[in-house]
Chains A and B, each alone.
Chain A
Amino acid sequence: MDSSTWLKILGYIITPITAFVVGVTYGGIVRVITARVQNRFGPPITQNFWDIIKLYSKKTAVHHGLMQHWGPVFAITASVTSLFFIPVLKDSPLWLNNSFNGDIIFLLYMMVFGSLGMALGAGQTGNPNSAIGVARGLALMVGYEVPFVLALVAIMIQFKTTSIAELMAVQDGFSNWLIFQSPFAFIAAILAFLGMMHYAPFDVTFAPAEIASGPASEFGGKYLALMQTSGSIFTFAKLVLFTDIFLGGAGDLVTLIVKTFLLYMIPVLTGIVNPRYRTEQAITFFWKWPTVFGIIAILIVVL
C-alpha cells in the first residue's frame, strides 16, 4: 500500500473522531451561549462530553425488540458514512475522504437513511410518544427535503456537477462562493437547514413538552449515548457539507471551524429566541417560502 492509502485510512479514523470532538464541543458552546442569553452562566463547555461518557457508562436493560437496538446503530452508521463522503478540507488527501462524482445525490439518501433507522428503532418501542415523534420527524423531513433538494438541483444544474469536490473547486475566492453565485438556492437551503438541525421553531420531533422528547423517549443509557454521538457527528457533517457547498469549503482546520461555527449559529440563535411550530405549520412553512426560493433558483439557472 502506498502512502496515500495509509493516509486515507488515517483519514477514516481521524475524521469521525474530529467530527465527534468538534460536534460535541459545539454542543457545549451552544449550551453556554444559550445560557448567556438566558441570563445565566450555563454548564462548562466540556459538559456534553461528560454527558455522553455517563450515558455510555449506564447500564441498559430495556428490551423492545431487535430494531430498537439497531436504530441507534443505523443512525451512527449513517452519520459516519455520510461524513466519509464529505470532503472536510479542500485539496487535502487526509481529509478529502471519499468524494466522488455524484456524492451529493448519495448524501441526500444517506442523510435520510439515519433518520429512517431511528424511525424504525423508535417505532418498535411501542411508546406512542415515540411513534408520534417519528411521524413528526418524517413529516418534517418531507417538508424540508423539498426546498433542500430544489436548492441542490439548482446548483447541480448551474455548475453541471454532482461532486462536492468540484463544487468546492469552483468557489475559488471570496466572491465566487455559491452564497453569492446562487443566493436563492442558498436561501432555500439555509431555511431547510434550520429544519434539518432540529432547532426551534422546527424541533417538533423532540418537543419534550408535547411528546416527551419523541423518538428518544424510550432510549436511555448507551442507546442515547449512541444517538448523541451520531447526532454530534451528523451535525458536524451537515455543517461541513453546507460550508463546502455554499461557503467555499475550507483549506485548513481553523477556517473550517470558523465557517462551520458561524453557520451553526444561524439555527442556534433562531432556536434560542423562538417557540416551535406545530408540525403542520412547519411543513406549510417549508412548502411556502423556501420552496418558492428553490424554484426561483432553478428557474434562474434554467432560463
Chain B
Amino acid sequence: MAFDIKGILSPFKALNQMGKHPHTVKFPYEEKVTAPRYRGLHFNDLEECIGCGTCSTICQNKAIDMINIEGIDPSSGDTGLRPRVDNGRCCWCALCVEVCPTGSLSLTTDYIYVTEDADSFLWTPGVDNPEGKEKKSFVSDSEHSLLEYARVPMRELEGSERVKSFAEVVLGYSEEEARKEAERCIGCGICTDNCPVHMHIPEYINAIAHGNDEDAIRIIYDNNPLGETCGKVCTRRCEEICAISKRGEPVAIRWLKRYATERAANEEMVKEIVNPTILPPNGHSVGIIGAGPSGLTAAYYLAMRGFNVEIYESKAHAGGMIMYGIPKYRLPLDSIDKQIEYMESIGVKIHYNTMVGKDVTLEELHQKHEAVFVGIGFEKPYSIGLTNEEAEGSIQAVNFLRAINSDKHVEIGDKVVVIGGGNVAIDAARVSRRLGADVTILYRRRVQDMPADWEEIEGAEDEGVHIKPQAIPLELITNENGRVVAIKYANAEMVPDPKGGRPRPKIIEGDEHIIETTAVIGAIGQEADYSFISEKIKSQIEIKRGRIVVNESQQTGVEWLFAGGDIANNRADAISAIADGFRATKGIEKFILNKEN
C-alpha cells in the first residue's frame, strides 16, 4: 500500500456499489421491527400494579411520580397510586422494570413520540397507552428481577428433636441472616396498612438493614410494647400483603421483629435502649382488667403518659392468652417475663390473683379509677356439641394449654384426637405430641381451608401429627367407665356453597370410621365470660355476637368503660389486642383530660 498506480485505481472499484440495491430502511414507508426486548415507552398493567412506588424510588432521574388515578381506589395491599413517567426525565434504562415487585411495569416496542408541546411528556403508562399491553417487550419475570424473592430460611429444630421437649422451635436469625433478610425489603410500607397497630414496619426493617438494631427496637416500641411476643407469635397480616409476596415469599417481617427485639437480652437493656420518656404523674388513675396483650399495651402507654395504672389479673402470672394460650415452644416464659418486668419497671402496677367480680367489683374499680379498660379475652371454650362431651378424656384445648403452661399434669394417654383447624387446635396437637402422644387432627374442611398458619400446620406435620381433613366428628364413644376410648367421624365431600361463600363440607353417607383414642381435645373456639359486669352496666353497653361494641377509641356505651382485645374485635389475635390497647390509650387520655377541662 503506497502511492502507486494500483492505489490510485483501487478506490474506483467502489463505484461497483452503484449497481447494488441500497440497504436503506425506507422509514416511514417501511418499518424496521424493533427487537423483542427493546426498551421503548413504558406500559403498566393497572390491575397488577399495587402502587408500591419502588419504580419511583429506583429511578435515578426522579422521572417517576406516584399519582392518584381516577377509578383506582386504595384497598388492602394497594395504595391506589400509579406511576406516571416524565419522559422528559426518563432514560429508558428499565431499572424500574427490574425492581417492580409485581412485574406490572414493562417497556414496550413503541418509542416514537414527536410533538411541539413540551408539556405533553408526562405519561401515565397503562392509562395513556392501553394498547401497550400487546407490545410489551422488556419485561422482568421473577428470574430476571433484581429483587430477592426467596426468604432467608429460618433455622428450626428438627421435627424429631422438637417433640422431645418444650424448647423453642424457631431459633431466630443470626445478625447476618437478619441483615440479608432485611435487605430484601423494598420499603414501600404497604404492609403497615394491614397491621392492626400500624407498626412502622419499613422503618424498623430499614434500620436493621442499616445495621442499627437499637433504632429498630425503639421504632418497634413506639407503638407495640409486646414487640417480642409479636416477633414470635404474631399472625402477621402484614406479610400477607407484602409487595414481594406477589411473586415470591414475603419479607419475614415477624422474624425480623423477633431478631430486633431479642437483641435486647433483658429488661434493663430494653429500658436502656428504648429509654422511654415517662411523663411525671398527672394525678389521674386508670384501672385495667386483665393483663393480656390489650391490657398491657394500654397500661404501658398510659403509664408513660403519667397516669397511675393498675392492672387486675385473675391469675398468678401476667400475659393472658400469650401466657396461658400459647405453648412454650413458641413463646418461652423467659421472654414473657422479660416484657412484663420491663413494663413493671416503668411503673405499671399489676395485682395478681385478683378476679374482678369476685375479689373486687367493677363498680369499686370505677370508684377508684377515672376510667376502666376491660381486656379479659375469651377464656370460655365453645362446647364441641357431641354426645359424651362431658366424659372423662374429653378436654377443651384452652383448658388443656392453660394447664400445661401452668406446669400442671394433664392425663391424655398415648392416642389423642384434636378436633378443629385453628391455631389453638394445632397448638394442642403439638403440645400433645410433646407429651408423647400419637396425635390426629380431625378437620371439617380441606387443609388449605384451615385457619391456622401454614407454618404451624407444616410444623405439626414435621413433628408427626396426622391431619385428617374433611372429617366430621359424629360422636364420642366411651367405655364402661365413662371414659372416652374412641371417636366416630364421617368423611365429607366439599360442595359449593349456594350463597357463594367458601365450599361447605357435606357428609358422605355411610363413609363412617372410628378411631381409638385416649383423649379428645376440642378446639373449635371460645367466648368471653361477662358475669362480672353488673346488669345495670350491661344494659348500657351493647354486646353483639359475644363481643362488646366499641367506638374507634375503644369506648363502650359507658363512657368511662373501655374495652379491647378478643372481647372487642373479631380477629382473635395478639396484635389486634395490642392495637385495641394502643387505641384505648388515646381514647382514655382524651376522655380523662376532656373531663378535667
User: Any chain A CB within 8 A of the CB of B11?
Assistant: yes
Question: In chain B, residues 14-67, which have Cβ atoms closer than 8 Å to a Cβ of chain A?
Answer: 14-15, 17-18, 20, 22-24, 26
List chain B residues, Cβ under 8 A from A35. 22
User: Any chain B CB within 8 A of the CB of A59?
Assistant: no
Question: With A and B bound together, what is the CA distance between A274 and B7 in angstroms?
Answer: 11
| Cβ-defined partner of A269 (8 Å) among B12, B20, B24, B26 | B12
Question: With A and B bound together, what is the CA distance between A38 and B23 in angstroms?
Answer: 10
Question: In chain A, residues 28-49, which have Cβ atoms closer than 8 Å to a Cβ of chain B?
Answer: 33, 35-41
B14/A273 in contact, CB under 8 A: yes
B12/A273 in contact, CB under 8 A: yes
Please judge, given known A-B contacts A269-B12, A273-B12, A274-B11, whether A37 and B24 are in contact too, CB under 8 Å: no
A36/B22 in contact, CB under 8 A: yes
User: Any chain B CB within 8 A of the CB of A272?
Assistant: yes
B24/A41 in contact, CB under 8 A: yes
A38/B17 in contact, CB under 8 A: yes
CB distance from A35 to the nearest CB of B (A): 8
CB distance from B565 to the nearest CB of A (A): 81
Name B26's closest neighbour in chain A (CB-CB). A41
B26/A37 in contact, CB under 8 A: no
Name B24's closest neighbour in chain A (CB-CB). A40
A40/B14 in contact, CB under 8 A: no
CB distance from A237 to the nearest CB of B (A): 27
Q: Mark A1-42, 1 if CB is under 8 A from B, else 0.
A: 000000000000000000000000000000001011111110
Question: With A and B bound together, what is the CA distance between A35 and B21 in angstroms?
Answer: 11
B24/A273 in contact, CB under 8 A: no
B14/A36 in contact, CB under 8 A: no
| Cβ-defined partner of B22 (8 Å) among A40, A273, A274 | A40
A36/B17 in contact, CB under 8 A: yes
List chain A residues, Cβ under 8 A from B24. 39-41
List chain B residues, Cβ under 8 A from A273. 11-12, 14-15
By DSSP majority rule, is chain A's interface helix, strand, loop, or mixed? helix
A39/B11 in contact, CB under 8 A: no
A33/B18 in contact, CB under 8 A: yes
Name A35's closest neighbour in chain B (CB-CB). B22
List chain B residues, Cβ under 8 A from A39. 17, 20, 22-24
B22/A269 in contact, CB under 8 A: no
| Cβ-defined partner of B15 (8 Å) among A37, A40, A41 | A37
Question: With A and B bound together, what is the CA distance between A269 and B13 in angstroms?
Answer: 11
A272/B26 in contact, CB under 8 A: no
List chain B residues, Cβ under 8 A from A38. 17
Most chain-A Cβ atoms within 10 A of its Cβ — which of B17, B20, B23, B26? B17
Question: With A and B bound together, what is the CA distance between A41 and B18 in angstroms?
Answer: 10
List chain B residues, Cβ under 8 A from A37. 14-15, 17-18
Name A38's closest neighbour in chain B (CB-CB). B17
Name A274's closest neighbour in chain B (CB-CB). B11
Question: With A and B bound together, what is the CA distance between A41 and B20 in angstroms?
Answer: 11
B18/A36 in contact, CB under 8 A: yes
Question: With A and B bound together, what is the CA distance between A238 and B17 in angstroms?
Answer: 29
CB distance from A72 to the nearest CB of B (A): 34
Question: In chain A, residues 256-291, which have Cβ atoms closer than 8 Å to a Cβ of chain B?
Answer: 269, 272-274
CB distance from A168 to the nearest CB of B (A): 31
Name B20's closest neighbour in chain A (CB-CB). A39
CB distance from A238 to the nearest CB of B (A): 23
Question: With A and B bound together, what is the CA distance between A40 and B25 in angstroms?
Answer: 9
Question: With A and B bound together, what is the CA distance between A39 and B69 in angstroms?
Answer: 50
Question: With A and B bound together, what is the CA distance between A269 and B17 in angstroms?
Answer: 12
Question: With A and B bound together, what is the CA distance between A269 and B23 in angstroms?
Answer: 21
B22/A272 in contact, CB under 8 A: no
Question: With A and B bound together, what is the CA distance between A40 and B26 in angstroms?
Answer: 10
List chain A residues, Cβ under 8 A from B12. 269, 273
Question: With A and B bound together, what is the CA distance between A38 and B16 in angstroms?
Answer: 10
List chain B residues, Cβ under 8 A from A41. 22, 24, 26
Q: What are some 13 contacts across the A-B interface (CB < 8 A)?
A: A36-B18, A36-B22, A37-B14, A37-B15, A37-B17, A37-B18, A40-B22, A40-B23, A40-B24, A269-B12, A272-B14, A272-B15, A273-B14
Q: Chain A interface (Cβ within 8 Å of chain B)?
A: 33, 35-41, 269, 272-274
Q: Chain B interface (Cβ within 8 Å of chain A)?
A: 11-12, 14-15, 17-18, 20, 22-24, 26
* Known interface pairs A35-B22, A273-B12, A273-B15; 18 further A-B residue pairs with C-beta atoms within 8 A, sorted by A's residue number: A33-B18, A36-B17, A37-B14, A37-B15, A38-B17, A39-B17, A39-B22, A39-B23, A39-B24, A40-B22, A40-B23, A41-B22, A41-B24, A269-B15, A272-B15, A273-B11, A273-B14, A274-B11
Of all A-B residue pairs in the complex, the 10 with the closest CB atoms, nearest first, are A273-B11, A40-B24, A40-B22, A36-B18, A273-B14, A37-B17, A39-B22, A37-B18, A41-B22, A41-B24
